[in-house]
Amino acid sequence: MKKTFLDYVLRVRLPITLFVALTSFTLTYFASRAERDGVGYTPDQPINFSHKLHAGDMKIDCQYCHTGVEKSRVAMVPPLETCMNCHRIARKDKPDIIKLTKYYNEGIALPWKRIHKVPDFVYFNHSVHVNKGIDCVNCHGDVKQMEKIGQMNSFTMSACLDCHRNALTRFPDLKNINQGPDNCFACHR
Amino acid sequence: MSDNKDMISKDDMKPDPDYWRSFEELYNDPAFIESSHHEFKEGVTDDFNPGNLSGLSRRKFLALVGASAALAAAGCTNYRDKGDIIPYVHKPEEITLGKPLSYASTCTGCSHACGILVKTREGRPIKIDGNPDNPVSKGKICTKGHADILSLYDPEKLSQPMKRGNGGGLDKTDWVRVDNEIIGILKSAGEKEIAIVTHKIISPTAKKVLDDFKAKYPSVKVYSYELFNEQNRLSTWQKSYGTPNYPLIKWNEAKVIISLESDFLGTEGNKVENTRLYSEGRNVDDLKNFNKLYVVEGNMSLTGMNSDVRIKLRPDAQFEFVMSLIDELRNNSVSSLKTFGSKYAIPPGKLNNLLKDIRENKGKVIVYAGRTLPENVHLAVNYLNELIGGTALYRTDFVEYSVLPLSNKEEIESLVSSMNRGKVAAVIHYDSNPVFHLPADNKYANALKNVPAVITLCLSENESSSVSQYVLPVNHGLESWGDAKIRNGFYSMQQPVIYPIHNSRQKEAILLTWISGKASSYNLDLYHNYMMDNWKNNIYPLLKSKLNFEQFWNGALHDGVVITGNIDLPNVSGQFNSSSFSGINKSSAVSGFVVALKESYSVGDGRYSNNGWLNELPHPVSKIVWDNYASISRKTSKELNVRTNDLIEITSGSRKLTIPVNIQPGCADNTITIELGFGRTNAGTISDGVGFNANILQSKDEGLSSWIITNVEVRKAGGSYPLAATQEFHAFDKGRTKDAAQKRNIIREGTVDEYKKNPDFLKAGSEEVENKSLYPPYDEIKKGVKWAMAVDLNKCLGCGECVISCYSENNIPVVGKEQAAKGRDMQWLRVDRYYSGDPEEPKVSQQLMLCQHCDHAPCENVCPVAATTHSPDGLNQMVYNRCVGTRYCSNNCPYKVRRFNYFNYRDHFNDGYQQSPVFNLIFNPEVTVRSRGVMEKCTFCVQRIMEAREDAIRDERPLKGSDVKTACQEACITTAIHFGDMNDPSSEINKFRNHKLGYYVLEDLNTRPNVTYIAKLRNTDKEDA
């Protein structure tokens, strides 16, 4: 029986095309996953604030600025007032500080670019995690080394559950820790 | 639907003796039976009226979406962009983001001035609760108090001062201009009167403002009125005891309470305090002090619904009743009451028991006459209480305090006549609405035409503003300063919790600006400073406080109350003046129809009619929403040849009203009861067209009293008007589950005697439920905290405070009358009401029904996407993001407590009312705002549980059941709702779960609910029936 062109298309061309399409989709899907989850997102900020300088080199405690982290759901980006505690005197001549002072004096709120975000239907709570002794680094990465702040880890539900389900192995040094809750109402309500 | 004849001919049929919810169900009305066969209510599955849908067509919508996507792409926005974080420049010291703050203040919804705590989030008030430090309200408020927060964010609140232009319309203007013009008018008034018409003044500082205003403009006269007031009670007290100070009643110490046409648990007097004290005598663990409530009334009221013995009697026969009771007790004759009983077909057993209880409980029995009753009844009741020792229950150490007495009828009439004679230069409606409230035949609105300047200060437009030249917006109570004095011994303080949202001003500050004579003298702190000065100079020195003024003032605002001790106790002890009784007019003619006008349970005197939550709160008795109606008895309906929803025309003199009827079980014959506060015009999108204005039946030449009108003519008007009731929602198929409520033990009840004799009577008849289950054993629930609720049906009065509190806490949408009629109300908890026994004189049972959080929840295993699951602390969880809207769970729920979002109620309807940006401010940020296509239900206030857990973790202590109070529990005045950890053996909830009167609804299904009901005990014996 003579092999037709149709046979060739069906037996060779189609499987190859499908294979290539599927493989490239799968590879792109997994390769771009981190990107889609926002890992590595490091936008320009209105003021070139360096966490490395403040938290790393000068060893200012995270909670000097992020005062809500032990008390409340949100860690809180500090009010400009907090910056001005030092910068009324310190480094007044630097261009970014001049910009900051201008914002402050004119009473204009500073629109920082948001880095970390969980969806609206997730009720994440900083205080319960921090009060259990879980360090900021676990989710936010080594902020002390970041010249420009960016997202280091994925903030997806699977990332949350990964820790919640393996809390004891993840944090062997913490005494007062239980397995994290993995019921729906723990985060959604 | 069947016609009238069908319905009425069913009367000969024997009614089912079981629990029933309406006459339609009781008499097996074919329409009811037909509807119970269907899953959906009539019309639900019909095509939608496109006119009601959003103005966007599907095609247009897709085009818009495409265009906006293209624009977004063209704009090259960064797809990773997550928006901005905008911190404070200066953070207020007391704010921790994400943590609520509560401020003490005073409710301004009515003249009872309950203490409130306003919960604010980042400076935005989101919930109102009671202030526990207030000696009268003690941490509780009524439905209107809870719903007041919605009025704060009403998008139809006035935002600008307005002046009527030449064309007749209102034009926006600015404060400086109106202030200057009005000051000019006031200055040039000269001899002519300037009238201020206001609701009851309860604030001493506001009174001082009015006095200053009078000093500046000597022709000022102040008139105050309330649509419902206690004038008859107070004036007769003056006649009987020579003092105007009517004492409070020690409801908690009464063993027998006889309420005559009085709704003291529903709308009358200080309802919050009455209810709390009354429920103290309804403790099943203290049977010795269990009270017995007799209610003699014309229409089934909330109080009547909760009575042990109810005697139906038309309101104009109350005087005859009291007189024959007096006759009986004084002369020990048995004839007069008997004659009376046979005249009005009252079972003799009830009257004999009443006499027995009065005689046996001397000093512990009180007769209380309703405020709508005429003076001669009050005089007779004063005497009756002297006779039976009811005076022992008068409280003399704590009395009502009147800052400014209400004007009497003659004063209002003289105002109208001087307006007509052109002797009035200006009328100032001081946050009041006399055009709607005053009797129509006063012709008040007409008289206003002869007044050159009518100035209305109001929150939002109303009937009075529509006939005014100047309409000035005032601050809402939560934007205002103030103080209030309603009793001796303490002051209640009011402070603003939010900056005025619109360009409105505090009403006192508006007067102060006019007093100063300069428009420029206004500033935001004008009244604040005035009030502080008044306190510093006039009140603070009297208190002999050890603190300096600033400390004292801050403390006062923090606490919300200033306790003064008994420096201002008026003289209340008066000698009974027996001539007041012997001199009363004993004639009483009872004939024809009588109309009784009552205050609405939801919208009050109409002040709250633009409030969606309150309109959608089912009437406690009839369960009708979004309307008022004429309540009539079954016999009367037959005489008039009408049935529920048919219109009748009521004629009294020249006044006519057409209104739909509702046939109410337990209504006295020939008595028509109508609630006022509805039928408003020019009051806003929500209230316009809701209900019927029955105020127009009121007359200045009152009949029996301002609220009881005799000699009316009633006839069938033809036509009908559909009332929306939630009472038949979720009706089971009658054929299969015929006597569900009783046979299936949904409602279980007993009498006090039964319980005394055999504490285990409730369990006696019921079989042990087999504990076998297909569900796998779940041991985790026995560890740690497990949440449970108990509802004490002895204390639950069915008032609906819990429902409104839940609206506020859990972002429940308002669905409107049309959707409510289709059974799509979204309330997470409802109060079910069942009638039982004699259909003409039924017993009523209420039951709070909410998600039972079953251990073996039938909803969970039918969900195809696992959107509803169980948590280890015993909660039945609902995850909105997983829900795809199959509604299988709701179908499988035996309690019918799940609610489905058929629409996105917030932006679905074409008026877009709930989409107004100012409405977004009301949402509780701790609770998801649900959208179309998802199921929702009670979560046991999981956000509060999580908040308590967060605090426990921070303090390094285990979470305790007592750390959490649900919103409904917090709101319940009678503390009928208990919540806590049932795994904690010492907890209160554990006591209730193992109570001898405790039962679960539909226990035999073995769903193992976590809500326990404490069975209701009726304090009756056989002869009462």
- Pairwise CA distance, residues B256 & B294, whole Å: 7
Per the rule left: phi > 0, alpha: psi between -120 and 50, beta: everything else, B653 is left
**DSSP codes, B224-285:** E--SS--HHHHHHHHHHHS-S-PEEE-GGG-SEEEEES--TTTTSSSHHHHHHHHHHTT-TT
Beta-carbon-side half-sphere exposure of residue A14 (alpha carbons within 13 Å)? 7
The distance of B426 to chain A (nearest Cα, Å) reads 45
pLDDT band per the 50, 70, 90 thresholds, residue B802: very high
- Pairwise CA distance, residues A130 & A122, whole Å: 18
CB < 8 Å to A176, chain B? 956
pLDDT band per the 50, 70, 90 thresholds, residue B655: confident
Would the CB atoms of B928 and A71 count as touching at under 8 Å?
Answer: no
Angle at B150 between CA B149 and CA B154, to 5 degrees: 125
Contact yes or no for B609/B437 (Cβ under 8 A): no
Contact yes or no for B196/B220 (Cβ under 8 A): yes
CB < 8 Å to A188, chain B? 877, 879-881, 928
Neighbour-count burial for B607-631, b at 16+ CB within 10 Å, e otherwise: bbbbbbbbbbbbbbbbbbbbbbbbb
Could you report the per-residue pLDDT of B880-926, keeping only the tens digit for each? 999 999 999 999 999 989 999 988 887 766 556 777 788 888 999 99
* Tokens 């100035």 sit on residue: B455
Angle at B443 between CA B442 and CA B447, to 5 degrees: 120
pLDDT band per the 50, 70, 90 thresholds, residue B155: confident
Contact yes or no for B810/B926 (Cβ under 8 A): no
Could you report the per-residue pLDDT of B761-775, keeping only the tens digit for each? 887 766 666 667 777
- Global pTM reads 0.88
Task: State the average pLDDT over residues B445-455.
Answer: 89
How many inter-chain contacts (A to B, CB under 8 Å) are there? 123
pLDDT band per the 50, 70, 90 thresholds, residue B48: low
Task: State the average pLDDT over residues B520-545.
Answer: 90
Class of domain B162-227+407-563: alpha beta
Mutate to test the interface with B, among A116, A127, A185 (most CBs of B within 10 A): A185
Assign a CATH topology to domain B231-399: Dimethylsulfoxide Reductase; domain 2 (3.40.228)
Could you report the per-residue pLDDT of A50-80, keeping only the tens digit for each? 999 999 999 999 999 999 999 999 999 999 9
Positive or negative, the Cα torsion across B323, B329, B335, B339?
A: positive
pLDDT value of residue B512: 92
Highest average pLDDT, of B229-238, B692-701, B790-799, comes from B790-799
CB < 8 Å to B83, chain A? 114, 117
Q: Which residues pair with B399 in a beta bridge?
A: B247
Instruction: Please state whether beta strands B624-625 and B724-725 pair in parallel, antiparallel, or not at all (unpaired).
Output: antiparallel
Q: In the β-sheet with B101-106, what is the strand arrangement from edge to edge? A: B101-106, B115-121, B124-130
Give helix B318-331 / helix B375-388 axis angle, nearest 10°: 30
Could you report the per-residue pLDDT of A126-162, keeping only the tens digit for each? 999 999 889 999 999 999 999 999 999 989 999 999 9
Counting residues of chain B whose pLDDT is more than 90, the rounded percentage is: 37
pLDDT at residue A36 is higher than 90? no
CB < 8 Å to A149, chain B? none
Could you report the per-residue pLDDT of B845-884, keeping only the tens digit for each? 899 999 999 988 899 989 999 999 998 888 999 999 999 9
Q: Is B661 helix (H, G, I), strand (E, B) or coil?
A: strand
- Output helix, strand, coil percentages for chain B, rounded to the nearest 5: 35, 20, 45
CB < 8 Å to A41, chain B? 80, 82
Helix (H) or strand (E) holding B723: none
pLDDT at residue B733 is higher than 60? no
What backbone torsions phi and psi does residue B700 show, to the nearest 5 degrees? -70, -30
Beta-carbon-side half-sphere exposure of residue B717 (alpha carbons within 13 Å)? 19
pLDDT at residue A175 is higher than 60? yes
Contact yes or no for A15/A21 (Cβ under 8 A): no
- Pairwise CA distance, residues B882 & B890, whole Å: 15
Could you report the per-residue pLDDT of B378-398, keeping only the tens digit for each? 988 988 888 888 888 888 888
Would the CB atoms of B80 and A125 count as touching at under 8 Å?
Answer: no
pLDDT at residue B13 is higher than 70? no
The maximal CA–CA distance of chain A, rounded, in angstroms, is 92
Could you report the per-residue pLDDT of B666-716, keeping only the tens digit for each? 899 899 999 998 988 888 888 888 888 888 888 877 667 888 888 888 998
- Tell me the CA end-to-end span of chain A in Å, nearest whole number: 67
pLDDT band per the 50, 70, 90 thresholds, residue B9: very low
Task: State the average pLDDT over residues B259-288.
Answer: 90
Task: State the average pLDDT over residues B719-728.
Answer: 83
Query: B977: how many CB neighbours lie within 10 A of its CB?
Result: 25
pLDDT at residue B545 is higher than 90? no
Q: What is the 3-state secondary structure (H, E, C) of B377-442?
A: HHHHHHHHHHHHCHHHHEEEEEEECCCCCCCCHHHHHHHHHHHHCCCEEEEEEECCCHHHHCCHHH
Per the rule left: phi > 0, alpha: psi between -120 and 50, beta: everything else, B576 is beta
CB < 8 Å to A47, chain B? none
Positive or negative, the Cα torsion across B593, B598, B600, B601?
A: negative
Nearest chain A residue to B810, by CA: A189
- Pairwise CA distance, residues A49 & A29, whole Å: 34
Contact yes or no for B1016/B284 (Cβ under 8 A): no
Contact yes or no for B930/B901 (Cβ under 8 A): yes
Task: State the average pLDDT over residues B462-471.
Answer: 90
Nearest chain A residue to B946, by CA: A186
pLDDT band per the 50, 70, 90 thresholds, residue A1: low
CATH code assigned to B740-1024: 3.30.70.20
CB < 8 Å to B871, chain A? 183-186
pLDDT value of residue B797: 92
Contact yes or no for B969/B988 (Cβ under 8 A): no
Tokens of B92: 């207020």
Contact yes or no for B665/B839 (Cβ under 8 A): yes
Burial of B310 (0-12, 13-18, 19+ CB in 10 A): buried
pLDDT at residue B604 is higher than 50? yes
Q: Return the domain boundaries, chain B.
A: 4-36, 162-227+407-563, 231-399, 589-725, 740-1024
Task: State the average pLDDT over residues A35-54.
Answer: 89
Nearest chain A residue to B83, by CA: A114
* Tokens 């405020």 sit on residue: B371
pLDDT at residue B115 is higher than 90? yes
- Pairwise CA distance, residues B273 & B135, whole Å: 10
DSSP label at residue B49: -
Amino acid at B765: G
Task: State the average pLDDT over residues B137-149.
Answer: 92
Mutate to test the interface with A, among B809, B868, B931, B946 (most CBs of A within 10 A): B946
Closest of B765, B772, B714 to residue B742, by C-alpha = B765
pLDDT value of residue B130: 92
Tokens of B281: 């005598």
Residues 6+ apart with CB under 8 A from B311: B294, B295, B296, B297, B346, B350, B351, B354
What backbone torsions phi and psi does residue B709 show, to the nearest 5 degrees? -115, 120
Q: Please check whether residue B521 touches A, CB under 8 A.
A: no
The distance of A78 to chain B (nearest Cα, Å) reads 6
Four-way CATH pick for B589-725: 2.40.30.60, 2.40.40.20, 3.40.1110.10, 3.40.47.10? 2.40.40.20
* Mean model confidence pLDDT for chain B: 85
Task: State the average pLDDT over residues B3-21.
Answer: 46
Q: Return the domain boundaries, chain A.
A: 5-31
pLDDT at residue B185 is higher than 80? yes
